[in-house]
């Protein structure tokens, strides 16, 4: 990936990266038992602008090796304890995940935003879009899936500095609704303590409550949905994530609305996103973002991707500092 | 600004002259989907098949094109395309085979999945995982999908045979399939769906059934060659 960005005052930044993904499944004679996934990349950063897809990059100038996904899935983990009848009744119900993956809140768990410039709201909402966690996922019934996890709440690095961690539950529509009706959606609940220097820096008064380790008592409830509709010339998708809760004693409210059009040839698309993160006593960060994409390859399963994107973000409200306009040009290749 | 110009130059130079992707087709939620297809199942296993890794892979890939009877798509039907076969078990007994393929449609990719009997190779259920088409509603109708239940690859090869020697034969099960009523704009996706079913059956015959339907293909091929010779 090669990305260049610049704000209206001429401050420029760039990020170059080359990486890999390793996915391996393990099977017995009659069952697929487990899989592991690891994404790593070598990154070079020069300068920094707060572009959505690199909010964690501010602290890593120059060369860095980064990991992204790093997790193990064990499928139908209760099978060794069950009879054939019980296995039949519970197939797909109890899968275990351990490692680093998208925070199980909102649509990010079912959306691959690894390469995209436009992101969903978790990074801004929690200070990280991926975390270290373990727990169960699967189907409750043919209509509804679940995810139940304990998260370390530490973001990029797995570390414990006195935080209790986070508990998260997500209930979402089964995939058949996406394929048959173009509809995805879910309800997420998350609570506990996370480490978030950004949240503390934003409000020094909160630092007194948090102590010296940037621990933030966190509560969130979120509702999300995405609807995909074929139109005569392509595909129209509308997305929304809404969440409310508290960071320490401050109430927070996050909104994200996005509309995308993808040409039937899957060769080009346009997107627009409005996002707003409001925190009690501090005001809000809000942006409107437009993006044009040209795809050389745009595999529906995200296994073969090759594109150029031009993304322009206009900050409408800022808790701190002046409003900026940031233009980002991205070249991305994944095979 | 200089770096942006350099980047744009790099991007233009990097533009591919043609696509050469290798794109597979997998179930989005295997456990849930397979349980729906085989309620009595206890476990399932995924096996990845790739022509480059198969013995005689080059020959099999050439054979796919010949048996399909049309050119292969440079994006969805390359030599490197991976194919995931799902084997479904009840205890130690194999009770089903499920496989999906991508075919290019008018409104985008169409993902055609078949569940099959593990011994006979007959279709138990045909369904679309992904279908973005003006005729999506009609193509997903139970009346249309159920017409394929019980058909085998042999029936498609027999269809080729009858088309040559006895058009309209009552024994031609594929010719008896009635397309749903749709706007003319939906026809390309209907035809792409039929092609997807045939491609799916051919691949599973290669990967799972040991080319058991080859005699039907050979018979149809000989009939076509004889007809061509007569014309000449």
Q: Which of A14, A266, A304 sits opposite B3 (nearest CB)?
A: A14
Residues of chain B contacting A304 with CB distance shorter than 8 Å: 21-23
Q: How far is B203 from chain A (nearest CA, A)?
A: 20
Query: In this structure, is residue B4 part of a structural domain?
Result: no
Task: Identify the residue among B27, B29, B33, B94 best suited for mutation to test binding to A, counting A beta carbons within 10 A and taking the highest.
Answer: B29
Indicate yes or no: CB of B14 within 8 angstroms of CB of A176. no
* Angle subtended at Cα A224 by Cα A218 and Cα A227, rounded to the nearest 5 degrees: 165
Residues in A closer than 8 angstroms to B78, CB to CB, are none
Task: Give residue A203's pLDDT.
Answer: 56
- A–B: how many Cβ contacts below 8 A? 130
Give chain A positions within 8 Å (CB) of B19. 296-297
> Residue A194 and residue A252: Cα distance in Å, rounded?
15
* Cross-chain residue pair A329–B133, CB shorter than 8 Å: no
Q: Which residue of A has its CA nearest to B131?
A: A179
Whole-number pLDDT of residue B1: 45
pLDDT of residue B23: 58
With b for 16 or more beta-carbon neighbours within 10 A and e for fewer, the B74-97 pattern comes to ebbbbbebbbbbbbbbbbeeebbb
Interface test mutation site (partner A, options B75, B108, B125, B139, max chain A beta carbons within 10 A): B108
Cα distances (angstroms) measured from residue A114 to each of A120, A240, A287, A295: 11, 19, 21, 16
Residue A212, pLDDT score: 57
Q: pLDDT tens digits for A225-245?
A: 999 987 878 889 999 999 999
Tell which of A234, A299, A310, A332 to mutate to test the B interface (max B CBs under 10 Å).
A299
Chain B positions touching A181 (Cβ under 8 A) are none
- Report chain A residues whose CB lies below 8 A from the CB of B24: 301, 303
User: pTM of this prediction?
Assistant: 0.84
CA gap B191, B182 in Å, rounded: 12
β-pairing, A12-27 vs A2-7, is antiparallel
Interface test with A, best of B33, B37, B43, B92 (most A CBs within 10 A): B43
The pLDDT > 70 percentage for chain B reads 90
Is it the case that residue B214 has pLDDT exceeding 80? Answer: yes
| CATH-assigned architecture of domain A12-334 | Beta Barrel (2.40)
Contact A296 B15 (CB under 8 A): yes
- State how many domains chain B has: 1
In angstroms, rounded to a whole number, what is the distance separating the alpha carbons of residues A102 and A109?
5
Contact A230 B132 (CB under 8 A): yes
B36, A87: Cβ pair inside 8 Å? no
Minimum CA–CA partner of A94 in chain B: B31
As given in the structure block, the two tokens for residue B9 are 């130059």
A2-30 residues labelled b (16+ CB within 10 A) or e (exposed): bbbbbbeeeebbbbbbebeeeeebebeeb
φ/ψ of A334, rounded to 5, equals -140, 125
Q: Do A304 and B129 touch (CB under 8 A)?
A: no
Radius of gyration of chain B from Cα atoms? 20
Task: For residues A77 and A57, give the distance between their C-alpha atoms in angstroms, rounded to a whole number.
Answer: 36
What pLDDT is attached to residue A207?
Answer: 52
Q: So where are chain A's domains?
A: 12-334
pLDDT above 70 for B5? no
Which residue of chain B is at minimal alpha-carbon distance from A177? B129
Q: How far apart are the first and last CA of chain A?
A: 12
Distance from CA of A85 to the nearest CA of B (A): 7
User: Minimal Cα distance from B133: which residue of A?
Assistant: A230
Q: What number is the ipTM of this complex? A: 0.76
Give the pLDDT score at A304: 74
Question: What pLDDT does B4 receive?
Answer: 45
d(CA B61, CA B149) in angstroms, rounded, equals 27
User: First CA to last CA across chain B, in angstroms?
Assistant: 67
Say whether A175 and B32 touch across the interface (CB within 8 A): yes
Partners of B4 on chain A (C-beta within 8 Å) are: 4, 6, 329
Q: Is B13 within a domain?
A: no
Are B28 and A4 inside 8 Å of each other by CB? no
CA closest to A295 among chain B residues: B15
**B158-183 pLDDT, tens digit each:** 999 999 999 989 999 999 999 998 88
What are the backbone angles phi and psi of residue B184, rounded to the nearest 5°? -55, -25
Q: Which chain B residue has its CA at the smallest distance from A327's CA?
A: B4
Of A4, A75, A235, the CB nearest to B4: A4
pLDDT band at B14 (very low <50, low <70, confident <90, very high): very low
Token pair for residue B63? 């054979």
Would the CB atoms of A230 and B90 count as touching at under 8 Å? Answer: no
Q: Which pLDDT value is given to residue A181? A: 85
Determine whether the interchain pair A30/B102 forms a contact, defined as Cβ–Cβ distance below 8 Å.
no
Range of the domain at B96: 20-227
pLDDT > 80? residue B8: no
Residue A208's pLDDT is: 56
pLDDT in tens, B99-111: 999 998 876 789 9
Report residues of chain A scoring pLDDT below 50: none
């Amino acid at each position: 990936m090669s990305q260049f960005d610049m704000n209206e005052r001429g401050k420029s930044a760039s990020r170059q990266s080359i990486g890999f993904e390793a996915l391996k499944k393990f099977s017995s004679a009659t069952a697929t038992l487990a899989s592991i996934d690891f994404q790593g990349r070598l990154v070079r950063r020069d300068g920094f602008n707060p572009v959505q897809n690199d909010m964690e990059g501010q602290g890593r100038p120059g060369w860095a090796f980064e990991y992204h996904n790093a997790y193990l899935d064990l499928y139908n983990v209760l099978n060794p304890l069950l009879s054939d009848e019980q296995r039949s009744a519970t197939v797909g119900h109890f899968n275990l995940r351990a490692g680093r993956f998208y925070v199980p809140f909102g649509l990010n768990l079912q959306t691959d935003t690894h390469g995209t410039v436009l992101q969903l709201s978790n990074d801004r909402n929690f200070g990280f879009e991926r975390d270290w966690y373990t727990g169960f996922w699967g189907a409750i019934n043919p209509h509804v899936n679940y995810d139940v996890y304990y998260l370390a709440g530490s973001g990029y690095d797995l570390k414990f500095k006195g935080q209790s961690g986070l508990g998260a539950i997500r209930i979402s529509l089964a995939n058949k609704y996406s394929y048959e009706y173009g509809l995805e959606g879910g309800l997420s609940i998350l609570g506990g303590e996370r480490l978030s220097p950004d949240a503390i820096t934003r409000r020094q008064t909160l630092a007194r409550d948090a102590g010296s380790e940037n621990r933030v008592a966190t509560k969130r409830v979120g509702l999300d949905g995405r609807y995909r509709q074929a139109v005569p010339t392509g595909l129209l998708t509308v997305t929304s994530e809404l969440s409310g809760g508290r960071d320490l004693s401050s109430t927070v409210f996050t909104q994200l609305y996005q509309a995308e059009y993808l040409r039937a040839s899957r060769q080009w698309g346009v997107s627009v996103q409005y996002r707003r993160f409001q925190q009690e006593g501090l005001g809000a960060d809000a942006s409107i973002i437009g993006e044009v994409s040209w795809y050389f390859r745009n595999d529906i399963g995200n296994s073969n991707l090759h594109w150029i994107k031009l993304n322009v973000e206009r900050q409408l409200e800022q808790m701190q500092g002046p409003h900026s306009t940031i233009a980002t040009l991205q070249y991305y290749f994944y095979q | 600004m200089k770096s942006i110009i350099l980047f744009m130059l790099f991007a233009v130079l990097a533009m591919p002259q043609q696509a050469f992707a290798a794109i597979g087709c997998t179930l989005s939620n295997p456990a849930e989907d397979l349980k729906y297809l085989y309620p009595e199942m206890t476990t399932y296993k995924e096996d990845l098949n790739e022509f480059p890794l198969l013995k005689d892979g080059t020959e099999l890939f050439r054979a796919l094109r010949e048996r399909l009877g049309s050119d292969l798509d440079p994006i969805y039907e390359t030599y490197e395309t991976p194919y995931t076969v799902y084997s479904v078990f009840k205890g130690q007994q194999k009770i089903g085979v499920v496989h999906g393929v991508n075919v290019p449609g008018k409104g985008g990719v169409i993902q055609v999945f078949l569940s099959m009997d593990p011994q006979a190779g007959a279709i138990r259920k045909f369904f679309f995982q992904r279908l973005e088409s003006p005729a999506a509603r009609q193509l997903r109708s139970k009346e249309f999908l159920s017409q394929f239940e019980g058909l085998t690859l042999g029936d498609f090869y027999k269809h080729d045979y009858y088309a040559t020697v006895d058009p309209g034969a009552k024994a031609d099960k594929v010719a008896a399939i009635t397309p749903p009523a749709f706007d003319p704009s939906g026809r390309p996706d209907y035809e792409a769906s039929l092609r997807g079913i045939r491609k799916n059956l051919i691949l599973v015959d290669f990967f799972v059934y040991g080319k058991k339907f080859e005699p039907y293909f050979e018979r149809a091929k000989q009939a076509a060659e004889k007809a061509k010779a007569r014309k000449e």
